[in-house]
Every structure is written in structure tokens, then in C-alpha cells.
Amino acid sequence: MAVRPYWKGYLKLSLVNCPVQMMPAISDNEKVRFHTLNRATHNRVVSQYVDSVTGEEVDEEDQVKGYQRGEDEYLLLEDEELENVALDSTNTIEITTFTPRDSVEWIWFDTPYYLTPSNPVGEEAFSVIRDAMEAKEMVGISRLVITRRERAVLLEPRGKGIVLWTLRYGDEVRDEETYFADIGDGKADSDLMPLVQQLIKKKTTDWNPKLVVDPVQDRLLDIINARKKQLKKAGKAKPKATEPEPSNVINIMDALRKSVKAETHSKK
């Protein structure tokens, strides 16, 4: 089933441009979703914006963005002011910079979208831009307004299309040294390394989307289907007995040897 375009506009590189459309590359539509209900009436519960002091509901036209500059003191900003700081053009992805693909670390990547030509007329220009980046192993950097927010984006050739990634801003990525600084500088035990490497080798397999299935989703569906069949039956499921936490008092060398041995037997 074709997905409706999330965004339509133009891809531009200098004087070359073509009409394109963008679709989300990921989806959570198949996930089990729940509504919050009133237990007594089974009616849906709705959320409302209320004044934190008076407790009265605030109409949408009376809601305004505020930047806190002190205790109970705010600077009010109107929607028009916020919109004026966005890009002048919201329908053009103009590639302004290229950078080697392997120079952009994964931690900067946020949300992926598929970018394709929106009509056959623009396919040639689209293909030239895509193939040129592919040949040079480069990615393009641009900016785009998505849901009223300006985002830095990265364009990466992929097959016959282009993947557009929204990028995290510099102040969104925390400095790793803040968290890794307390880790000791000691080297790994040379006697343990071969055992760990054996485990890695035995557990290595080719990538497959089935490696990241969601078991919780299947369990939720089982519960829902069971409830459908037993709608009129009362009673709550007994909680599962909690398993005792494993003790850490164990020799790591013995544990690794047992793991390697278990993996060997399982393969046989």
C-alpha cells in the first residue's frame, strides 16, 4: 500500500532542481495503542489545558508561548514572531554543503525519510544528484522546515532513491567524556580476550530485521485476543513469580568458558 507523501517540494543543487516528495521511512502504526478510559463509564478521558493557579480551562486562542526568565516571570512570544525566525522558503531543500559520509557519526542522526521524484519529469535531475553523491561517497547537508521547526538535514543516496535524515543539533548531543571519564584506563585481561572473541564468533550472524522484533507487541496481542474470547469472565491473572537476581560472585573466566562450551554444544 502506497504511503501518502508527508511533504512535497523541490530538491535544488545550484541551478539544478527537481520536484520531490518525502515519506516517513519508519512507522509505528502497527503498534498496539491504548486509550485512557473512565473505569466507571468506559468513556474516553480527554486532556485539557488549565490555568495552574485558578484551575480553569484555557481556550486555545488564549494560549501563548512563554520563555521563563525568572520565578513566575515570562517573556510572551506570539506565533507570528516564532514563524518569522524560520526559513523563508519551506518548500525547497537546497544542498549547500557536501561532506564525506563516514565523517558523520550515527549519534547525530535523528529521523529518516525517503526522498523520491514526485513526477517523471524530475527523475533525470534527481538521478544526477543522487549518483554524483554516490560516486564521491558524499552526503549533502541542507535545512528544512518540518512541522513548523527548522531542521538541519542530511541527504544520503540509497538504491534508486535518497534517504533524508533530520539531524540533532549540537546542544542536543551530550559530551561523551562527561559519562566515560570515570571508567578506568586498565587494559582487558589478555587471558579473557580469546574467550570473549570465541563467544563473539559463535554468536555472529548476518543482519536480519527479525533480530529486532518486539516481543512485547506479541504478548499484548495475545492478552487482547484472550480478553476478546473471555470478555465476560472476571478475574485477574496471577503475577509471575520473580526470578532471583543472578549473583555476581562468580569467576569471569569460568563463566566465559561455560558460555563458549554451551554455544559449541548448541551449534552441534
Q: Which pLDDT tens digit goes with each residue over 22-64? A: 999 988 777 778 888 988 898 999 888 999 889 889 988 899 8
d(CA 201, CA 199): 5
Reported as a single tens digit per residue, the pLDDT across 217-259 is 777 777 877 877 877 665 554 555 555 555 554 566 776 677 6
Length of the chain (residues): 268
Q: What do you get for the CA distance between the two ends of the chain, in Å?
A: 43
Reply yes or no on domain 7-27+85-172 having CATH 2.40.290.10: yes
d(CA 112, CA 193): 37
